[in-house]
């Protein structure tokens, strides 16, 4: 029995293609988001988590984590914030949010749809960033005065991100 190599590698090839496309998609959203004007300078909608959510729901946790880390590395390189404090905030927030979403997706999918998972991720993303700002940059607990704004805006952005992800998963029929 000799399967041709092309067949043997096909699964991993499709995975590689999906990973690359989702990472590129995430990078584009990351760049787009850094360019659009925002009402408050530190309040980003987190659009690049659309790519994370699609990866999580169509490919699994470890691929979602790969998409996040690659997106932040390449995206930061492109906007010129590689290894500066903003990069550490993005990376910390992104990894924490992905861990949370991966956990919720695996263990709570009986109760939570993609909307709940995304909102949990957004809240964790924002709170991790506040924590990192406190310990790394400002060192003052007054930064937690922003926590209510961050939590309430996470509800809104998490919902939007889940809505778009769901729409894209359905339309593109990735799986």
Partner 1 sequence: MVQKKTGNAGTEILKIITPGDKILVVLILIFGLMSLFAVNWLKKPGDRVIIEVNGQELQRLDLDSSQNITVTGPIGNTTIKIDHGAVRVVSSDCPAKICVLTGNIRHAGEIIVCVPNKVVVKVAGKTENQFDVITQ
- The contact set with partner 1 (CB under 8 A) reads 39-41, 108, 110-116, 119-120, 123, 140, 142, 144-145, 147-148, 151-152, 154-155, 163, 166-167, 170-171
- Which CB sits closer to partner 1, 17 or 108? 108
Nearest residue (CB) to partner 1, 91 versus 146: 146
Between the two ends of the chain, the Cα-to-Cα distance in Å is 29
Q: Is residue 151 within 8 Å of residue 43, measured between CB atoms?
A: no
Please report the sign of the dihedral spanned by the C-alpha atoms of residue 73, residue 92, residue 27, residue 32: negative
> Closest separation between CB of residue 148 and partner 1, Å?
4
Choose between 78 and 108: whose C-beta lies nearer to partner 1: 108
CB of 100 to partner 1, least distance (A): 12
Q: What's the closest the beta carbon of residue 170 comes to partner 1, in angstroms?
A: 7
Is residue 56 within 8 A of residue 105, CB to CB? The reply is yes
Confirm if 72 and 31 have CB atoms less than 8 A apart.
Answer: no
67/9 Cα distance (integer angstroms): 21
Residue 147 CB, shortest distance to partner 1, in Å, is: 6
The closest alpha carbon to 64, from 109, 102, 100, 12, belongs to: 102
Residue 70 or 164 having the CB closest to partner 1: 164
């Amino acid at each position: 029995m000799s399967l041709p190599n092309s067949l043997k590698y096909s699964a991993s090839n499709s995975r590689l293609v999906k990973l690359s496309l989702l990472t590129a998609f995430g990078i584009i959203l990351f760049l787009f988001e850094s360019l659009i004007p925002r009402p408050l300078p530190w309040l980003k909608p987190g659009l690049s988590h659309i790519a994370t959510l699609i990866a999580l729901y169509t490919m699994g946790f470890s691929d979602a984590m790969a998409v996040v880390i690659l997106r932040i590395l390449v995206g930061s390189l492109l906007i010129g914030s590689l290894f500066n404090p903003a990069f550490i905030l993005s990376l910390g927030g992104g990894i924490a949010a992905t861990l949370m979403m991966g956990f919720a997706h695996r263990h709570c999918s009986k109760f939570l749809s993609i909307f709940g998972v995304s909102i949990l991720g957004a809240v964790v993303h924002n709170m991790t960033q506040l924590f990192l700002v406190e310990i790394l940059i400002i060192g003052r607990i007054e930064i937690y005065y922003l926590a209510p704004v961050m939590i309430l805006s996470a509800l809104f952005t998490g919902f939007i991100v889940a809505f778009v992800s769901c729409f894209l998963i359905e339309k593109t029929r990735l799986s």
